[in-house]
Amino acid sequence: MTTELNRQFGDQVEVKYVDVDKVGLDNYPIMNRVLQMGYPYPITLINGEPKFAGGIMTSEVKQSIDELLKKA
């Protein structure tokens, strides 16, 4: 997915994978709240806001990013 997003958006987006088992949920309080609500991994955040849970849906992520960039 990283390559696809970089190809479409270039340096307008940053793609980052975070393994919270290694860095700990204390570093990502929003993730802790989302998980307490019962949503499954993986959690996709866009601009720090949880958008998708339970799988990485590339087309939906691209659409969400595209909509955000058009608003900017």
pTM exceeds cut of 0.95: no
Instruction: Supply the DSSP symbol for 39.
Output: P
The structure tokens listed for 39 are 């949503």
Quote the strand ranges of 20-61, DSSP E. Answer: 43-46, 49-53
Please write the tens of the pLDDT for every residue from 26-71: 888 898 899 899 999 899 988 888 999 998 889 999 999 999 999 8
More confident residue, 19 or 67: 67
Q: Quick one: pLDDT band at residue 20, thresholds 50, 70, 90?
A: confident
Q: Tell me how far the alpha carbon of residue 29 is from its chain's centroid.
A: 14
Residue 60, pLDDT score: 93
> Is the confidence at residue 72, as pLDDT, over 80?
no
Say which residue the tokens 């909509």 belong to.
67
Residue 43 neighbours by CB under 8 Å, 6+ apart? 31, 34, 35, 50, 52, 53
Residue 2, pLDDT score: 84
